[in-house]
Amino acid sequence: MTNPAASHDAMRTHATRLQTTSLRSLVEGDPARATDFAFRIGPLYVNFARQGYDREALDQLFSLAEANDLAGRIRALFDGEPVNTTEHRPALHTALRSDLSDAPVAKAAHAQAIDVRARMRGWVQALAAGPVTDIVSIGIGGSDLGPRLAAGALSEPAAGRFRLHFLSNIDGNAVERMLAELDPARTAVLLVSKSFGTRETLLNGEILRDWLDDASRLYAITANVDRAREAFDIPAERVLPMWDWVGGRYSLWSAVGLPVALAIGMDGFEAMLAGAAEMDAHVLRQPLRQNVAVWHALTAVWNRNALGLSTQAVLPYDDRLKLLPNYLQQLVMESLGKSVRADGSPVTCDTVAAWWGGVGTDSQHSFFQALHQGTQVVPLDLIGIADPGHDYRANRDELHANLLAQSEALANGDSHDDPHRVYPGGRPSTWLQLDRLEPRALGALLALYEHSVYLQGVIWGINPFDQFGVELGKQLASQLLPALAGDADASDPVTRELLAQLRGRA
């Protein structure tokens, strides 16, 4: 087994040699890659054939994977070893949906998850039997992005279930606009916060608590049950617990997902978990070369470190997935946006690219010009839904035609006598296709990204489960509150000027 540094260098050397080979010729020279570089896991199909590596590069990437003991680290994750190295904790989001490890800590975590899921089912039934028609879920980051994405993507407009409203930002406009549409007598409010210390959630929670006409319709989902009672007088029977062995951005599968269960039913929520569990089994059991999460992670490492590409775009070609880029920004960039290795030493290579994205085909009318003819090559995850579930067949075919066309045009480019009309091509993409946008398929897709993120972290030697980088801004904000009230002044001269401008016009 070679050492990681040697594998990394060999990979970059080969990438330099490959630069003279176009993506089009890579594919034309090895047409079998169109199927050899593809995976089918239940309702999910993934194809890496239009990524800019050849089989020799893949050999080097897999030796890099072996040098970093990816198979052992996958087992460590599922067994509840302290893979969250800086906080000395397991990261057992897999135990929320699958029971694949015999390790006692993983078994205990799964048992707790099953207990809470039974309580979730009871809450859904009890709320459905009452006067409540609207649910407000107050949370932010990992306590908002996953449920908001999944509830929006999977809700059927005619299902006659609860209407879900998500409140995350501290901006009073968001609160004001939401309350204008709601009836306090027919609304229940969920305070979703793992820490129960997030200012946005607490302030918005106080507004909604005072707005409700019956405090018994205020619920909490948190790892800090005591604070929920102290701060909002919410008794234990109206609190669903979370645990510190689940990271916020990995918590959709826990009680944080209650809004999803309220939107699509508990059976639908459990189908989403089953899809994630199917991906878990694939990731845990497949050898590295037949493992789709390993391929996805190695592709990200190839684009970031071998090709030096600094951003990555995610383009769902389905309006119901328009929040997927937002969700993945937190999952990927809050997990991998680090420059210090788990052992405290500086990283030896670039880590996370800037992830962004938009929905297709709208994005073709906004930033695709840069993707085709800009100086920066942007690797893409193109996401399509084979059966979009509606009867507008012309729309479906046009959407699919555009998705196929963009994948080919970006990879192959086009020549022209007029230099302004030349398409350089060589833009790599991965094709991720769901048979239908239903809970099991979405669960598998999101679990794939979770596992890919973890494995990228292993290869870069960083801890994907902490987020110390979000604390400084919060500390400065709380220190500036008295200055905004005129009771103090800012120490930084620029902040002082900006503060004066803000206060002068407020």
Q: Which is nearer to ligand G6P, 243 or 317 (CB)?
A: 243
Output 195 or 311, the one with its CB closest to ligand G6P. 195
143 binds ligand G6P (CB under 6 A): yes
Single out the catalytic residue among 88, 365, 390, 420: 365
User: Under DSSP, is residue 268 helix (H, G, I), strand (E, B) or coil?
Assistant: helix
Could you confirm whether 474 is annotated as catalytic? yes
Please, which contacts does 244-248 make with residues 24 or more away whose CB atoms are closer than 8 Å? Answer: 244/87, 244/89, 245/80, 245/89, 245/90, 245/91, 245/92, 245/95, 245/109, 246/91, 246/92, 246/93, 246/96, 246/194, 247/84, 247/91, 247/93, 247/142, 247/335, 247/465, 248/141, 248/142, 248/143, 248/194
Which is closer to ligand G6P, CB of 132 or CB of 333?
333
**Exposed/middle/buried for residue 493 (C-beta within 10 Å: 0-12, 13-18, 19+):** exposed
45 three-class SS: strand
Strand ranges for 262-353 from DSSP E: 311-316
CB of 128 to ligand G6P, least distance (A): 26
Could you tell me the CA-to-CA distances from 297 to 161, 185, 300, 495 in Å, in that order?
38, 48, 5, 41
Segment interacting with ligand G6P, rule: CB under 6 A, options 65-73, 193-201, 204-212, 483-491: 193-201
Which tokens go with 76?
């460590």
Q: In degrees rounded to 5, what are phi and psi of residue 354?
A: -80, 115
Q: How far is CA 322 from CA 325, 327, 459, 469, in A?
A: 7, 10, 30, 27
Q: Pick the closer one to ligand G6P by CB: 46 or 324.
A: 324
Stretch 278-307 residues interacting with ligand G6P (CB under 6 A): none
Please report, as residue ranges, which positions from 401 to 430 form the binding site for ligand G6P (by CB under 6 A): none
Separation between Cα atoms, residue 322 and residue 195, nearest integer Å:
28
Asked if 201 is part of the footprint of ligand G6P (rule: CB under 6 A), the reply reads: yes
Among 86, 195, 311, 326, binds ligand G6P (CB under 6 A): 195
In the complex, minimum distance from the CB of residue 232 to ligand G6P, in angstroms, rounded to a whole number:
14
Q: Which amino acid is at 298?
A: L
Distance, CA of 401 to chain centre: 27
* Binder of ligand G6P out of 93, 194, 296, 427 (CB under 6 A): 194
Residue placing its CB nearer to ligand G6P in the complex, 248 or 443: 248
Q: Minimum distance between the CB of residue 499 and ligand G6P, rounded to whole angstroms? A: 24
How far apart, in Å, do the first and last CA atoms of the chain sit? 63
Q: Which of residues 446-475 bind ligand G6P (CB under 6 A)?
A: 467, 470
Q: Which stretch binds ligand G6P (CB under 6 A): 99-107, 189-197, 380-388, 481-489?
A: 189-197
> Which of 270, 334, 438, 450 is an active site residue?
334
How far apart are CB 42 and ligand G6P at their closest, in Å?
Answer: 28
Q: How far is the CB of 198 from ligand G6P (least distance, A)?
A: 3
Which residue's CB is nearer to ligand G6P, number 97 or number 249?
A: 249
Yes or no: say if 306 and 60 are a contact pair by the CB < 8 Å rule. no
Question: Which listed residue (110, 165, 209, 249) binds ligand G6P by CB under 6 A?
Answer: 249
List the structure tokens of 91: 């990261």
Q: How far is the CB of 492 from ligand G6P (least distance, A)?
A: 23
Cβ neighbours for 490, distance < 8 A, ≥ 6 positions apart: 480, 483, 496, 499
Contact call for residue 198 and ligand G6P (CB under 6 A):
yes
Tokens 């699919």 correspond to what residue? Answer: 400
Cα 470 to Cα 120, 199, 330, 430, 442, distances in angstroms: 30, 13, 12, 31, 28
Q: Nearest to residue 275, comparing CAs of 416, 138, 121, 153?
A: 153
Closest distance between ligand G6P and the C-beta of residue 355, in Å?
15
CB of 1 to ligand G6P, least distance (A): 35
Q: Give the position of tokens 């993934």.
A: 46
Instruction: Indicate which residue of 56, 156, 416, 474 is catalytic.
Output: 474
Q: How many residues bind ligand G6P (CB under 6 A)?
A: 14
Residue 140 touching ligand G6P (CB under 6 A): yes
Of 194 and 296, the one with the shorter C-beta distance to ligand G6P is: 194
User: Which 308-367 positions form the footprint of ligand G6P (CB under 6 A)?
Assistant: 334
Would you please indicate which residues are annotated as catalytic (active-site) residues?
334, 365, 474
Which chain residues interact with ligand G6P by CB under 6 A?
140-143, 193-195, 198, 201, 248-249, 334, 467, 470
